Amino acid sequence: MSDAVQEKSDPNVAARWFWIVAIIILLTAFGIRVFAAQWWHGLAAQENRVFRFGDSASYWTLGEALATGKRYQYGGKDGSIFRAPGYPLLLATVASHKPQVEAVWYARLIGCLLGTLAIGVVMWIAYRLGGPITSLAAGFLCAVYPGAIGMSVTILSEALFMPLMLVHLLLLQKAFCSAPSHKSSQKTMSLWVEHWPAALVSGMFAGGAILTRPSWLLLPPLAALIHWLLHRNRTAFLQGAWVGLGIILVMAPWWYRNYLITDRFVLTTLQVGPSLYDGLHPGASGGSDEGMKFVGTFGAELRQKEASLPQPPGSTFEYRLNREMQAAAWSWAMSNPSEALRLAWNKFCRTWNIWPPAQELSSIWVRLTESIGCFTILSLAIWGAWVSRSRLGELYLLLLPVPYFTLLHMIFVGSVRYRQPAIMAISVLAGIAILWILNKLLRKSFA
């Protein structure tokens, strides 16, 4: 055997080349994101704005409040539990810098780093499940995918949420795949003790993800339920319990703070009611296209109604407004089921729109590349799931965000923004499909 052939067969050489290509992908991803951040930042400056999305201003205001020691509230005392603190805590690291435009630029750079980190986690998951080629393919897809780039450079919570979510899924997959497949085990205690760190830390990352985007709240218990149904043993149940404990440990300080304010238990924020009403009310379109102006009208009506009460109502006005708007949204949906179903379809179409609306993306080229990138990864992921259907017990955690976010935003409001975390998760399956395609091509070449 020649030296060249020996070198090619040397696993150390293959590992070295993997790391070289992986680092090139990550550096390229970071470079693309910095370029996109500069472009987006420039567009805002041309429009005499600092932020191009309304949500960005609320996150920044709360980040400034944390950085300067002010009260954590948005829009006054009736907004003390307006947003979860995860992303504002990150923004607080730069929000006190002056001038504000420079501080926002630094925040965009942090988003670029987090977006690159998210790609690294995707590659890690893909390597565990499919090997080096799958890892590199998934990493490349995420590096150039416009949706992932956009979520890195805009001042939105997805910048932090996506790496937290992906680390959570990585650890959850590691913990859950340790469970025995049979219904009973003589070594249940030793198994759950041995594998509790991955499940507990996974839960802690899930707690961080929920405190960044509360919409993630229901996925960990849903994943734990599916895991238990697949295995039906105490180990699976206890692993789910460790995940739950991790979530509680991270979220407990937020719950305690909210209880001190409201004298009530608040699971995430007091924007659930307004957000639900945004998607379920007379005249709703399926998107948040009214700027939630109805909140002010609803609040004024509630104050007027409470003024006639013989005794002052309990808790805070913010808490009561959230509860009333939540009840009003469900009441309207129950009274208008056909309209609610029509809205659900509209929200589905908005979330998985092949041609995203112009108001959400800034140019025809961004819209075109976003659409091509999204549905290329989605198509490859479907194929990857099909060719790996015998391994769905390992891969379902990566598939779960797609139906989860889709169904969730068929109730709340729909937008292409809400599909981006799911696309990042299934890019691992897209990498598996690319590996399958390459294997087929190589077999034909050598046939």
d(CA 238, CA 260): 32
Assign 1 a pLDDT band (cuts: 50, 70, 90).
Answer: very low
Report the candidate in 398, 394, 396 with the shortest Cα–Cα distance to residue 428.
398
Predicted pLDDT at 355: 86
pLDDT of 415 above 60: yes
Contacts of 15 (CB under 8 A, 6+ apart): none
Say which DSSP state 179 is in: S
Q: Which of 91-95, 350-354, 359-363, 400-404 has the lowest mean pLDDT?
A: 359-363
State yes or no: pLDDT of 252 exceeds 70: yes
- What is the predicted pLDDT for the residue at 208? 98
DSSP 8-state class, residue 265: -
pLDDT at position 187? 53
Q: What percent of the chain has pLDDT over 70?
A: 92
Return the minimum-mean-pLDDT range out of 17-21, 233-237, 399-403, 423-427: 233-237
Burial group, residue 300, by CB count within 10 angstroms (0-12, 13-18, 19+): exposed
The tally of CA atoms less than 13 A away on the side-chain side of residue 378 is 18
pLDDT 10s digits, 312-342 = 788 899 999 999 999 999 999 999 999 999 9
Which 3 state secondary structure label does DSSP give 55? helix
Mean pLDDT, rounded, for 162-188:
76
pLDDT of residue 6: 39
Please say if the pLDDT value at position 27 is more than 50: yes
**108 in Cβ contact with 37 (< 8 Å):** yes
Which amino acid is located at 252 in the chain? A
**DSSP secondary structure of 319-385:** HHHHHHHHHHHHHHHHH-HHHHHHHHHHHHHHHT-SS--TTTSSSHHHHHHHHHHHHHHHHHHHHHH
DSSP state, residue 417: G
Residues 77, 217, 344, CA angle at the centre, nearest 5°?
Answer: 95
Q: Which two tokens stand for residue 94?
A: 């730069």
Tell me what percent of the residues of the chain surpass a pLDDT of 90.
73
CA 215 to chain centre: 8
Q: How many CB atoms lie within 10 A of CB 290?
A: 13
Which band of pLDDT confidence, cut at 50, 70 and 90, is reported for residue 190?
Answer: low
Mean local confidence (pLDDT), 229-241: 89
Query: At residue 323, what is the residue type?
Result: R
List Cα–Cα distances, 148 to 4, 121, 368, 387, in angstroms.
40, 13, 15, 25
Q: Is the pLDDT of residue 203 over 70?
A: yes
Average pLDDT over residues 384-410: 94
Q: How confident is the model at residue 92 (pLDDT cuts 50, 70, 90)?
A: very high
Q: Which segment of 181-190, 235-244, 281-290, 391-400 scores lowest on mean pLDDT?
A: 181-190
Q: Is the peptide bond before 357 cis (omega within 30 degrees of 0)?
A: no
pLDDT digits 0-9 by tens, 134-160: 999 999 999 999 999 999 999 999 999
Name residues whose C-beta falls within 8 Å of residue 166's C-beta, 6 or more positions apart in sequence: 118, 121, 122, 125, 424, 425
pLDDT of 193 over the 70 cut: no
Output the six-digit token pair for 98.
């002056």
Assess contact for 94 and 122: CB atoms under 8 A: no
Pick 167 or 15 by higher pLDDT.
Answer: 167
Is pLDDT of 186 > 50?
Answer: no
| Token code pair at residue 6 | 């020996």
End-to-end CA distance of the chain: 23
pLDDT, tens digit (0-9, with 9 covering 90-100), for 56-90: 999 999 999 999 999 999 988 889 999 999 999 99
| 232 Rama sector, left if φ>0, alpha if ψ -120 to 50, beta otherwise | left
Please check whether residue 273 is in contact with residue 324, taking contact to mean a CB–CB distance below 8 angstroms.
yes
pLDDT of 139: 98
Overall average pLDDT of the 340-367 stretch: 86
> What is the pLDDT of the chain when averaged over all its residues?
90
What is the CB-side half-sphere exposure of residue 300 using CA atoms within 13 A? 4
Q: Given pLDDT bands bounded at 50, 70 and 90, which one contains residue 162?
A: very high
Cα gap 407→401, rounded to integer Å: 10
Token pair 């995707």: residue = 122
Distance between CA atoms of 409 and 421, rounded to whole angstroms? 13
48: its two tokens: 């005499």
The band of 259, judged by pLDDT with boundaries at 50, 70 and 90, is: very high
Query: pTM (2 decimals)?
Result: 0.92
Query: Which of 268, 318, 312 is closest to 298 using CA atoms?
Result: 318
Q: Tokens 């994943």 sit at which residue? A: 223
